[in-house]
Amino acid sequence: MRGIKRAALAAGVCLAAFGMVAAPGVQAQQVTIERAMKDAPYWNAALPTEQRVEDLLARMTLDEKVAQIITIWDSKGQIQSEGDVFDPAKAAAKFPDGIGQIARPSDRAGPSSPRVVPRRNIEDSIQYVIDAQRWAMTQTRLGIPVLFHEESLHGLAAKDATAFPQAIGLASTWDPSLIRDINALIADETHARGVHSVLSPVVDVARDPRWGRIEETFGEDPFLVGEMGVASVEGLMGAGTQRKLAPGKVMATLKHMTGHGQPESGTNVGPAQISERTLREMFFPPFEQVVKRTKIDAVMASYNEIDGVPSHANRWLLDKVLRGEWGYRGAVVSDYYAIEDMARLHHIAPDNARAGEIALLAGVDVDLPEGAGFKDLAKSVREGRVPEAAIDNAVRRLLTTKFNAGLFDNPWPDLAKAKTSNGPEGVALARLAAEKSLVLLKNNGALPLALPAGGSKKPTIAVIGPNADVARLGGYYGEPRASVTPLQGIRAAVGGRATIVHSMGVEIVKGDSDWWDDPVELGDRDENLRRIAEAVEVAKTADTIILFIGDTEKTSREGWAAGHLGDRTSLDLVGEQNELFTALKALGKPVVAVLVNGRPPSYPTIAAEADAVLETWYAGEQQGTAIADALLGNINPGGKLPVTVARNAGQLPMFYNHKPSARRGYLFDTTTPLYPFGWGLSYTAFALGAPQLSAGSIKAGSGVTVTVPVTNTGKRAGDEVVQVYLRDEVSSVTRPVKELVGFQRVTLQPGETRNVAIPIEPRAFMLWNTDMKQVIEPGVFTIMAGANSEELQSVTLTVTE
C-alpha cells in the first residue's frame, strides 16, 4: 500500500477527493493516509449520505463494525501516555479495528471528579481530539473518524465553558426562544472543541420530587417539557428536520426513554409502574414532539423497567413505538452502563455478553460509555446467536450520524474560536437566563429592598445562610471562567448604599459539596447550633435578613449507584436549616428566604412565615448578579414553577393534571399543594381578561386560537406568562381535570394592555380511546386561561365531527 505525506492544512480544509484529510493542529503536522482510499465513494462529500454509508459499510469487517458501536471512557488510560496525552501506538494495540466513540474528551481519566482529577484545559482538550482523530483517520484501515461526546445539560460540562441555570430553572423561564438561544451557544462552544455530540436534552416528565434527578428535567407537564425539548434540540442542531448539521452545530441526544421521571419509591432507576395509557398521555408526548419536529438523530434509552421489561430490552418501546409509530430513523444509544445493568441489576441476562445481545436485538445501536455490553457481539454473530444484519443496522445508524455531523469532511476543532468560550456573549446570556429563571413565590412587601439614594442613614442587610457565599451549579456541571456568589452579587449591587454583614448560619453537609463525591454526611448538629447562635448575633444589627437556604449538589442528585445515593424520603429542608430560620425570625425583623436548590421547595415553615420567598434553583455562573438585581428591584422576577410543589411526602404523587377521581381528601390534612403548577408572582400586578376563541365551534382535526387580554396595572414593567388549559367534559375514557395546551411569556410596561393570541393545535383535543387508538371525540371542551394552573377563567368550545 502506498501513502503520501503532506503538511497539515488550515482548519476546515478537506481533500477527501484525493485521499487526503486535513489535520490542523497547534503546530504544522504531517499525516499519511492510504492512497487506496482516494477513490472510495464514502469520501465523496457530493454523494448522498445513504450512498456513502452503504459504500463504507460494505467494506467493513465484522470486527470493524462492532468497534464502531462501542465507546471508551473508563479505559482512556490504556490509550494515553504520560501527561494524559493520546498515544497512537497504544490505541492501535488496544483498538486495532478503530474506535467508534470517545466519551468526554475534556476528562483526563474517565469517571472521576474534576476536583480530584482536573479536566483538560481548552488547548489540551483540542490537542487530544486532534491526535485521536488523526490516528483514526490516517492509521486505521478505513479511516473512520471518532465521534466525541460531552455532557451539556445546562452548559458544556468542561473547563472554561458557560454555565447556565440547571434545567429545572430553565423550564421556569417558560421561554422556548431563550432556551433555543442558550443551546445554540452551547453548540457553538462545544463544536469549536471538535466535539460533535452532546448528551442532552432531558425530556423526562418528572412526577416525584423525591427523585434526585428532578433538577435535570423541565418539570411535570408533557406540553411544557415538549416545547422546551424541541427548542433545545433546535438550538443544538438547527431548525427543521433535515438531519445534516449546519456549521457550528452538534448532535443532540434525547433522553431518557422513558418513564424515568416517576420511579417506584422515588429512587433512581426504580421500576416505572406506569400503564400504557399513562405512558402515551404523559410520558411519550415530549419524545414524540422532538422526534417529529426536529433533526434529532440520537435517543437514549432509560435505566428503568416498564412492566417487567427494562427499556434497553424493550422492543415495543424502541422498535414499535419510537421507530414504527413515530418514524424515527436515528440511533438509539444506551445510558451509561445500562446494558450491563440488565445482567447486574435487572437479572434478565446471565452476563454482559447476553445482555448485549438482548439490547441489540431490542433496538439499541450504541453501547455507552465503555462497551462492556457490546464488545462480544462479533463472537455472538459467529456463533449464530445474533444475525450480522442486526449489527449492520446499528452500524448504519451510527455511521449516518457521523456523516450527517460532517466528521468525514471536516471534523477538526477551531482553537481560536474555542478560546473565546465563556466570553462576554456567554456571560451576558447566562445572566439573562438566570434573571428569567427566578420565581417569586411570596411577597408581603419585603421585596424589592428599599435602599436610600444617598444622604440618609445606611441600612444594614444581613446575608445569612449556607448558600449565600457559594455559587452552586447543580449536577453535570461545567467550570466557567468565573462565577458570582449571591453574597458577591449583593455587595456589588449595593455598593455603598448599605452595610452588608454575613454569617454562614449552618453547614448543610460536611466538607465539599461536590456532586461527584460518593459519601454524604450532614453537618455536625452541635457545631451548627453554635453557628446559628453566631448568625443571630450578626443579624441583630440588621434591618433586613436575607436567608439563603435549600440544598447542595450532594443532598439531591442522581443516585447512580448503591454507594452514590441522591434520592430522599423527605421533602423539607435538611439539617438545621429550619431551626436557623426560626431563630432569625424570632428577632422580629423582615426575613427574605432565597431558595437555592434543584428540587421543588416543599418548605412549609418557610412558606408560612417568611416575609418573601424567592426561588432561584441552581441559577448558573451569574446567579449572584441576577439574584442581587432581583432583590433590589433592578429586575422584576417573572418566572413560573414548572412543577406542583407538595406540602409533604404523604401527598405524593402530586401533579396538577390529575384525573377527576383523585384528590378526594385526607383526614387531618389537605390535598392542596404548597404552590400550584405555573405559580409565580411579580413586583407589579397584572389583570387578565376572559379568554376569547377564534371560533366557538370547530371540526375535529382543526385548531383554535385563544386570545387573552393582559394589562399591567402596576407601576413597574414586568413579565407575565399567559397559560391556556383544556378539559374534555365528557369522554369515553377518563381525562385529566386540566391540561396545559399553550403559553406565552410577555413583557408589559406599566399601564400597557396586550391581546395575547395563543394557537391551540389539533393534537390538544386527542385522546387514546378504549381500543388504544388516538382519536378526537366530538363534544364540549372547556378552555381555561390565567396566570397559573389554579386562577383561571374559562370559555367553552364545541368540537364537531
Q: Tens digit of pLDDT for each residue in 532-564? A: 999 999 999 999 999 999 999 999 999 999 999
Catalytic residue chosen out of the listed positions 97, 131, 297, 335: 335
| pLDDT digits 0-9 by tens, 487-527 | 999 999 999 999 999 999 999 999 889 999 999 999 999 99
DSSP letter string, 252-274 = --EEEETTTTS-GGG-TT--B--
Query: What mean pLDDT is predicted for residues 423-441?
Result: 98
Beta bridge partners of 710: 688, 754
Quote the CA–CA distance of 527 and 515 in Å, as a whole number: 23
What pLDDT does residue 356 have?
A: 98
What grid cell was written down for 383? 456463533
**Nearest CA-CA partner of 5 in 20, 26, 27, 24:** 20
pLDDT-derived band at 33, boundaries 50, 70, 90: very low
- Residue 126 pLDDT: 97
Mean pLDDT on 657-679: 98
The whole-number pLDDT of residue 286 equals 98
Q: Mark whether 335 is an active-site residue.
A: yes
pLDDT digits (tens, 9 = 90+) for 568-582: 999 999 999 999 999
Q: What percent of the chain has pLDDT over 90?
A: 93
Kindly indicate the confidence band of residue 452, based on its pLDDT and cuts at 50, 70 and 90: confident
Q: Residue 9 above 80 pLDDT? A: no
Among 96-100, 244-248, 402-406, 742-746, which stretch is predicted with the lowest mean pLDDT? 244-248
Give the per-residue pLDDT at 111: 87
**Separation in Å, CA 234 to CA 228, 265, 293, 705:** 10, 34, 9, 25
**Sign of the alpha-carbon dihedral angle for 551, 556, 562, 563:** negative
CA distance 13 to 65: 28
Distance CA 526, CA 572 (A): 20
Tell me the pLDDT tens digit for each residue of 706-764. 999 999 999 999 999 999 999 999 999 999 999 999 999 999 999 999 999 999 999 99
CA–CA distance, 163 with 173 (Å, rounded to integer): 16
pLDDT score, position 114:
86
Q: What pLDDT score was predicted for residue 487?
A: 98
pLDDT by residue (tens digit) across 36-76?
366 899 999 999 999 999 999 999 999 999 999 999 999 99
Residue 25 has pLDDT above 70, yes or no: no
The whole-number pLDDT of residue 20 equals 37
pLDDT of residue 16: 36
Torsion of CA 235, 240, 244, 249, to 10 degrees: -10
Average pLDDT of the chain, as a whole number: 94
Q: Tell me what the mean pLDDT of segment 96-124 comes to.
A: 92
pLDDT tens per residue, range 292-348: 999 999 999 999 999 999 999 999 999 999 999 999 999 999 999 999 999 999 999
Closest-CA residue to 215 (of 591, 596, 543): 596
Cell of 402: 457521523
